[in-house]
Amino acid sequence: MDFVKKLSEERNLSDCELKELIESSKYDEGLFAAADKKRREIYGDEVYIRGLIEFTNYCKNNCYYCGIRRDNKNAERYRLGEEDILACCEEGHRLGFRTFVLQGGEDPFYTDKMLCDIISEIRSRFEDCAITLSVGEKTKESYKAFFDAGANRYLLRHETASEAHYKKLHPDSMSLETRKKCLFDLKEIGFQVGSGFMVGSPYQTTENIIEDIRFLQKLQPDMIGIGPFISHEETPFSSFENGGMELTLRLISILRLIFPYALIPSTTALGTINPQGRELGLKAGANVVMPNLSPVNVRKLYTLYDNKICTGEEAAQCKGCLENRVKSAGYRIVTDIGNVKKEKEKICR
Ligand code: 5AD
Ligand code: FES
Protein backbone atom coordinates (compact mmCIF):
# COMPACT_ATOMS: atom_id res chain seq x y z
CA MET A 1 0.00 0.00 0.00
CA ASP A 2 1.04 3.59 -0.60
CA PHE A 3 2.77 4.79 2.62
CA VAL A 4 1.50 8.35 2.35
CA LYS A 5 -2.09 7.27 1.82
CA LYS A 6 -1.84 4.82 4.69
CA LEU A 7 -0.33 7.45 7.00
CA SER A 8 -3.07 9.96 6.06
CA GLU A 9 -5.85 7.49 6.71
CA GLU A 10 -4.55 5.53 9.68
CA ARG A 11 -2.35 8.24 11.31
CA ASN A 12 0.30 5.63 11.89
CA LEU A 13 2.83 3.36 10.22
CA SER A 14 5.03 0.50 11.36
CA ASP A 15 8.66 1.23 12.26
CA CYS A 16 9.76 -0.30 8.97
CA GLU A 17 7.42 1.81 6.92
CA LEU A 18 8.40 4.96 8.80
CA LYS A 19 12.07 4.22 8.20
CA GLU A 20 11.49 3.98 4.45
CA LEU A 21 9.47 7.21 4.42
CA ILE A 22 12.04 9.10 6.53
CA GLU A 23 15.06 7.96 4.52
CA SER A 24 13.75 8.41 0.98
CA SER A 25 13.05 11.61 -0.89
CA LYS A 26 10.85 9.88 -3.45
CA TYR A 27 7.62 10.30 -1.44
CA ASP A 28 8.21 13.98 -0.64
CA GLU A 29 5.90 15.61 -3.14
CA GLY A 30 2.93 13.41 -2.21
CA LEU A 31 3.79 13.65 1.47
CA PHE A 32 3.90 17.46 1.54
CA ALA A 33 0.64 17.65 -0.41
CA ALA A 34 -1.14 15.21 1.92
CA ALA A 35 0.10 17.12 4.99
CA ASP A 36 -1.04 20.45 3.55
CA LYS A 37 -4.44 18.99 2.71
CA LYS A 38 -4.80 17.73 6.30
CA ARG A 39 -3.77 21.06 7.86
CA ARG A 40 -6.25 22.91 5.60
CA GLU A 41 -9.07 20.55 6.63
CA ILE A 42 -8.54 21.46 10.27
CA TYR A 43 -6.89 24.89 10.38
CA GLY A 44 -7.74 26.27 6.92
CA ASP A 45 -5.14 28.77 5.76
CA GLU A 46 -4.71 30.28 9.24
CA VAL A 47 -1.25 30.75 10.68
CA TYR A 48 -0.95 31.63 14.36
CA ILE A 49 1.75 33.98 15.59
CA ARG A 50 3.48 33.72 18.96
CA GLY A 51 5.52 36.62 20.29
CA LEU A 52 8.78 35.25 21.57
CA ILE A 53 10.36 37.10 24.48
CA GLU A 54 13.84 35.76 25.23
CA PHE A 55 14.19 37.17 28.71
CA THR A 56 17.45 35.64 29.93
CA ASN A 57 20.41 33.95 28.28
CA TYR A 58 21.93 32.80 31.56
CA CYS A 59 21.74 29.03 31.89
CA LYS A 60 22.91 26.65 34.57
CA ASN A 61 22.94 23.72 32.15
CA ASN A 62 25.64 22.66 29.77
CA CYS A 63 23.97 20.93 26.82
CA TYR A 64 26.67 20.15 24.27
CA TYR A 65 24.73 21.68 21.36
CA CYS A 66 23.57 24.97 22.85
CA GLY A 67 25.28 28.33 22.47
CA ILE A 68 24.08 29.70 25.82
CA ARG A 69 25.45 26.72 27.78
CA ARG A 70 27.10 27.55 31.11
CA ASP A 71 30.63 26.89 29.92
CA ASN A 72 30.43 29.30 27.01
CA LYS A 73 32.49 31.99 28.70
CA ASN A 74 32.40 34.14 25.58
CA ALA A 75 28.64 34.59 25.67
CA GLU A 76 27.66 38.05 26.82
CA ARG A 77 24.85 37.46 29.32
CA TYR A 78 21.72 39.52 29.89
CA ARG A 79 18.50 39.47 31.88
CA LEU A 80 15.29 41.39 31.29
CA GLY A 81 13.41 42.83 34.25
CA GLU A 82 9.65 42.72 34.73
CA GLU A 83 9.18 46.17 33.20
CA ASP A 84 11.16 45.24 30.07
CA ILE A 85 9.11 42.07 29.65
CA LEU A 86 5.83 43.94 30.10
CA ALA A 87 6.94 46.53 27.55
CA CYS A 88 7.53 43.71 25.02
CA CYS A 89 4.02 42.41 25.72
CA GLU A 90 2.49 45.89 25.30
CA GLU A 91 4.19 46.31 21.95
CA GLY A 92 3.25 42.78 20.92
CA HIS A 93 -0.38 43.22 21.88
CA ARG A 94 -0.56 46.44 19.88
CA LEU A 95 0.80 44.56 16.87
CA GLY A 96 -1.82 41.79 17.16
CA PHE A 97 -0.05 39.12 19.17
CA ARG A 98 -2.35 37.12 21.45
CA THR A 99 0.26 34.68 22.73
CA PHE A 100 3.42 35.62 24.58
CA VAL A 101 6.17 33.07 24.95
CA LEU A 102 8.55 33.72 27.80
CA GLN A 103 11.66 31.77 26.97
CA GLY A 104 14.97 31.63 28.75
CA GLY A 105 17.88 29.52 29.83
CA GLU A 106 17.53 27.74 33.16
CA ASP A 107 18.36 30.78 35.25
CA PRO A 108 17.95 30.46 39.04
CA PHE A 109 18.12 34.25 39.37
CA TYR A 110 14.39 34.22 38.55
CA THR A 111 12.78 32.64 41.60
CA ASP A 112 9.33 31.07 41.33
CA LYS A 113 7.96 34.11 43.13
CA MET A 114 9.50 36.47 40.56
CA LEU A 115 8.19 34.43 37.64
CA CYS A 116 4.74 34.17 39.23
CA ASP A 117 4.65 37.94 39.74
CA ILE A 118 5.53 38.50 36.09
CA ILE A 119 2.97 35.94 34.92
CA SER A 120 0.15 37.37 37.03
CA GLU A 121 0.91 40.88 35.88
CA ILE A 122 0.76 39.80 32.22
CA ARG A 123 -2.39 37.84 32.95
CA SER A 124 -4.14 40.84 34.51
CA ARG A 125 -3.08 43.26 31.76
CA PHE A 126 -3.80 40.95 28.80
CA GLU A 127 -6.85 38.88 29.64
CA ASP A 128 -7.37 37.77 26.06
CA CYS A 129 -3.88 36.31 25.65
CA ALA A 130 -2.20 32.98 26.21
CA ILE A 131 0.97 32.93 28.29
CA THR A 132 3.45 30.29 27.23
CA LEU A 133 6.50 29.45 29.32
CA SER A 134 9.71 27.87 28.11
CA VAL A 135 12.04 27.91 31.10
CA GLY A 136 13.14 24.30 31.31
CA GLU A 137 12.95 21.66 34.00
CA LYS A 138 11.28 22.59 37.32
CA THR A 139 9.53 20.74 40.12
CA LYS A 140 5.85 19.91 39.76
CA GLU A 141 5.14 22.41 42.55
CA SER A 142 6.81 25.20 40.60
CA TYR A 143 4.90 24.28 37.45
CA LYS A 144 1.66 24.32 39.44
CA ALA A 145 2.49 27.75 40.87
CA PHE A 146 3.11 29.11 37.34
CA PHE A 147 -0.18 27.62 36.17
CA ASP A 148 -2.09 29.10 39.10
CA ALA A 149 -0.51 32.48 38.40
CA GLY A 150 -2.04 32.40 34.92
CA ALA A 151 0.31 30.60 32.53
CA ASN A 152 -1.46 28.20 30.18
CA ARG A 153 1.08 26.65 27.86
CA TYR A 154 4.57 25.20 28.30
CA LEU A 155 7.24 24.35 25.75
CA LEU A 156 9.85 21.77 26.70
CA ARG A 157 11.39 19.79 23.89
CA HIS A 158 12.40 16.27 24.86
CA GLU A 159 15.35 16.70 22.41
CA THR A 160 15.68 12.94 21.82
CA ALA A 161 13.67 10.03 23.20
CA SER A 162 16.57 7.62 23.12
CA GLU A 163 18.36 7.17 26.43
CA ALA A 164 21.72 6.48 24.74
CA HIS A 165 21.37 9.41 22.33
CA TYR A 166 20.27 11.75 25.16
CA LYS A 167 23.55 10.98 26.95
CA LYS A 168 25.53 11.95 23.85
CA LEU A 169 23.87 15.38 23.74
CA HIS A 170 23.89 16.21 27.46
CA PRO A 171 26.24 15.99 30.43
CA ASP A 172 25.53 13.43 33.18
CA SER A 173 23.81 16.03 35.33
CA MET A 174 20.81 15.85 32.98
CA SER A 175 18.55 12.89 32.31
CA LEU A 176 15.89 11.90 29.83
CA GLU A 177 13.87 10.46 32.70
CA THR A 178 13.63 13.87 34.40
CA ARG A 179 12.74 15.52 31.10
CA LYS A 180 9.92 13.04 30.49
CA LYS A 181 8.63 13.38 34.04
CA CYS A 182 8.48 17.16 33.62
CA LEU A 183 6.42 16.77 30.46
CA PHE A 184 3.89 14.45 32.08
CA ASP A 185 3.73 16.69 35.20
CA LEU A 186 2.94 19.67 32.98
CA LYS A 187 0.16 17.75 31.24
CA GLU A 188 -1.32 16.58 34.52
CA ILE A 189 -1.43 20.13 35.86
CA GLY A 190 -3.43 21.20 32.82
CA PHE A 191 -0.92 23.04 30.64
CA GLN A 192 -1.17 22.78 26.88
CA VAL A 193 2.18 21.11 26.36
CA GLY A 194 4.69 21.38 23.54
CA SER A 195 7.58 19.03 22.97
CA GLY A 196 9.88 18.19 20.09
CA PHE A 197 13.41 17.51 18.97
CA MET A 198 16.26 18.70 16.79
CA VAL A 199 16.62 17.18 13.36
CA GLY A 200 20.10 16.01 12.39
CA SER A 201 21.59 16.49 15.84
CA PRO A 202 24.99 14.82 16.29
CA TYR A 203 24.79 10.99 16.40
CA GLN A 204 21.06 10.94 15.55
CA THR A 205 19.90 7.87 13.62
CA THR A 206 16.62 7.13 11.84
CA GLU A 207 15.84 4.74 14.68
CA ASN A 208 16.20 7.64 17.14
CA ILE A 209 13.74 9.69 15.10
CA ILE A 210 11.26 6.80 15.12
CA GLU A 211 11.66 6.67 18.92
CA ASP A 212 10.93 10.40 19.01
CA ILE A 213 7.71 9.83 17.09
CA ARG A 214 6.72 6.93 19.36
CA PHE A 215 7.38 9.08 22.43
CA LEU A 216 5.24 11.89 21.04
CA GLN A 217 2.45 9.37 20.40
CA LYS A 218 2.55 8.51 24.12
CA LEU A 219 2.73 12.11 25.29
CA GLN A 220 0.10 13.41 22.86
CA PRO A 221 1.36 17.00 23.02
CA ASP A 222 -0.70 19.95 21.77
CA MET A 223 2.36 21.54 20.17
CA ILE A 224 5.32 19.94 18.41
CA GLY A 225 8.43 21.95 17.64
CA ILE A 226 11.17 20.57 15.45
CA GLY A 227 14.02 22.33 13.71
CA PRO A 228 17.39 21.45 12.24
CA PHE A 229 20.42 21.25 14.53
CA ILE A 230 22.74 24.15 13.72
CA SER A 231 26.26 24.13 15.09
CA HIS A 232 27.46 26.92 17.37
CA GLU A 233 31.15 27.67 17.29
CA GLU A 234 31.58 27.99 21.06
CA THR A 235 30.18 24.52 21.87
CA PRO A 236 31.67 21.01 21.89
CA PHE A 237 29.60 20.34 18.75
CA SER A 238 31.12 23.20 16.77
CA SER A 239 32.46 20.94 14.02
CA PHE A 240 29.33 18.86 13.45
CA GLU A 241 27.29 19.30 10.30
CA ASN A 242 23.98 21.08 10.43
CA GLY A 243 20.72 19.16 10.13
CA GLY A 244 19.10 19.13 6.70
CA MET A 245 16.14 21.09 5.45
CA GLU A 246 14.70 18.25 3.38
CA LEU A 247 14.60 15.88 6.32
CA THR A 248 13.10 18.57 8.57
CA LEU A 249 10.32 19.26 6.04
CA ARG A 250 9.64 15.56 5.60
CA LEU A 251 9.30 15.17 9.36
CA ILE A 252 6.98 18.16 9.66
CA SER A 253 4.69 16.45 7.15
CA ILE A 254 4.89 13.09 8.89
CA LEU A 255 4.05 14.76 12.22
CA ARG A 256 1.13 16.65 10.66
CA LEU A 257 -0.33 13.38 9.39
CA ILE A 258 0.15 11.56 12.69
CA PHE A 259 -1.05 14.54 14.77
CA PRO A 260 -3.57 16.34 12.51
CA TYR A 261 -4.63 18.75 15.27
CA ALA A 262 -1.18 19.70 16.55
CA LEU A 263 0.18 23.23 16.53
CA ILE A 264 3.44 22.92 14.63
CA PRO A 265 5.76 25.91 14.23
CA SER A 266 7.83 26.63 11.18
CA THR A 267 10.92 27.44 13.21
CA THR A 268 13.55 30.14 13.12
CA ALA A 269 16.20 27.41 12.82
CA LEU A 270 14.52 26.24 9.60
CA GLY A 271 14.61 29.82 8.31
CA THR A 272 18.26 30.03 9.29
CA ILE A 273 19.49 27.06 7.25
CA ASN A 274 17.54 28.18 4.16
CA PRO A 275 16.14 31.61 3.25
CA GLN A 276 12.87 29.95 2.19
CA GLY A 277 12.87 27.48 5.08
CA ARG A 278 9.93 28.88 7.00
CA GLU A 279 7.75 29.23 3.91
CA LEU A 280 8.51 25.64 2.95
CA GLY A 281 7.81 24.53 6.52
CA LEU A 282 4.32 26.00 6.28
CA LYS A 283 3.73 24.26 2.95
CA ALA A 284 4.85 21.00 4.54
CA GLY A 285 2.19 21.25 7.25
CA ALA A 286 3.34 23.75 9.89
CA ASN A 287 0.74 26.28 11.11
CA VAL A 288 2.55 28.53 13.61
CA VAL A 289 5.33 31.12 13.37
CA MET A 290 7.13 32.70 16.30
CA PRO A 291 8.50 36.16 15.54
CA ASN A 292 10.85 37.78 17.99
CA LEU A 293 9.45 40.34 20.43
CA SER A 294 12.64 40.67 22.49
CA PRO A 295 14.22 44.12 22.66
CA VAL A 296 16.45 44.58 19.60
CA ASN A 297 19.56 45.30 21.71
CA VAL A 298 19.58 41.80 23.25
CA ARG A 299 18.49 39.73 20.25
CA LYS A 300 21.99 38.98 19.02
CA LEU A 301 22.88 37.69 22.48
CA TYR A 302 20.27 34.92 22.51
CA THR A 303 22.26 32.70 20.18
CA LEU A 304 21.51 29.04 20.65
CA TYR A 305 23.18 28.46 17.25
CA ASP A 306 25.24 30.45 14.73
CA ASN A 307 23.83 32.85 12.10
CA LYS A 308 20.38 33.06 13.68
CA ILE A 309 18.04 35.20 11.56
CA CYS A 310 15.76 38.05 12.69
CA THR A 311 18.19 39.48 15.22
CA GLY A 312 18.28 42.95 13.70
CA GLU A 313 14.65 43.85 13.09
CA GLU A 314 12.14 45.63 15.28
CA ALA A 315 9.07 43.70 16.38
CA ALA A 316 6.89 45.53 13.86
CA GLN A 317 9.30 44.84 11.00
CA CYS A 318 9.63 41.23 12.01
CA LYS A 319 5.86 40.78 12.01
CA GLY A 320 5.50 42.59 8.68
CA CYS A 321 8.24 40.49 7.13
CA LEU A 322 6.65 37.27 8.31
CA GLU A 323 3.21 38.39 7.17
CA ASN A 324 4.57 38.74 3.64
CA ARG A 325 6.37 35.44 3.79
CA VAL A 326 3.30 33.62 5.08
CA LYS A 327 1.18 35.21 2.36
CA SER A 328 3.67 34.26 -0.33
CA ALA A 329 3.43 30.65 0.85
CA GLY A 330 -0.38 30.74 0.45
CA TYR A 331 -1.51 31.25 4.05
CA ARG A 332 -2.64 34.05 6.31
CA ILE A 333 -1.51 35.32 9.71
CA VAL A 334 -4.44 35.84 12.07
CA THR A 335 -4.83 37.81 15.28
CA ASP A 336 -6.09 34.98 17.43
CA ILE A 337 -5.14 33.25 20.64
CA GLY A 338 -4.63 30.17 18.44
CA ASN A 339 -5.60 27.42 20.82
CA VAL A 340 -5.25 23.83 19.72
CA LYS A 341 -8.37 22.46 18.02
CA LYS A 342 -9.64 19.25 19.48
CA GLU A 343 -11.09 16.36 17.60
CA LYS A 344 -14.86 16.14 17.97
CA GLU A 345 -15.78 13.06 19.99
CA LYS A 346 -17.51 10.45 17.90
CA ILE A 347 -21.06 10.22 19.22
CA CYS A 348 -22.06 6.63 19.85
CA ARG A 349 -25.71 5.90 20.46
N1 5AD B 1 20.59 24.12 16.89
C2 5AD B 1 19.26 24.03 16.74
N3 5AD B 1 18.40 24.08 17.75
C4 5AD B 1 18.90 24.26 18.99
N5 5AD B 1 18.30 24.34 20.18
C6 5AD B 1 19.25 24.52 21.12
N7 5AD B 1 20.46 24.56 20.55
C8 5AD B 1 20.28 24.38 19.22
C9 5AD B 1 21.15 24.30 18.11
N10 5AD B 1 22.48 24.39 18.25
C11 5AD B 1 16.87 24.13 20.36
C12 5AD B 1 16.61 23.05 21.39
C13 5AD B 1 15.83 23.80 22.47
C14 5AD B 1 15.23 24.95 21.71
C15 5AD B 1 14.83 26.11 22.55
O16 5AD B 1 16.24 25.31 20.79
O17 5AD B 1 15.82 22.02 20.82
O18 5AD B 1 14.85 23.01 23.08
FE1 FES C 1 11.88 38.51 11.72
FE2 FES C 1 11.62 38.33 9.02
S3 FES C 1 10.56 37.29 10.59
S4 FES C 1 12.70 39.81 10.23
Q: Confidence class of residue 343 from pLDDT cuts 50, 70 and 90?
A: confident
239-286 per-position pLDDT tens digit: 999 999 999 999 999 999 999 999 999 999 999 999 999 999 999 999
Ligand 1 neighbour 159 (Cβ under 6 A)? yes
Ligand number nearest CA of 72 is 1
Residue 53 three-state SS: strand
- Which residue ranges make up each domain of the chain? 13-334
Q: Model confidence over 75-118: pLDDT tens digits? A: 999 999 999 999 999 999 999 999 999 999 999 999 999 999 99
* Ligand 2 centroid, distance to 307 Cα (angstroms): 13
CA distance 335 to 67: 32
- 3.40.640.10, 1.10.3720.10, 3.20.20.70, 3.90.320.10: CATH of 13-334: 3.20.20.70
Task: Give the Å distance between the CA of 315 and the centre of ligand 2.
Answer: 8
Distance from the alpha carbon of residue 311 to the mean position of ligand 1, in angstroms: 16
- Tens of pLDDT, residue by residue over 164-177, are 999 999 999 999 99
Query: Measuring from atom 3 of ligand 1, which residue has the nearest CA?
Result: 229
Which amino acid makes up residue 1?
Answer: M
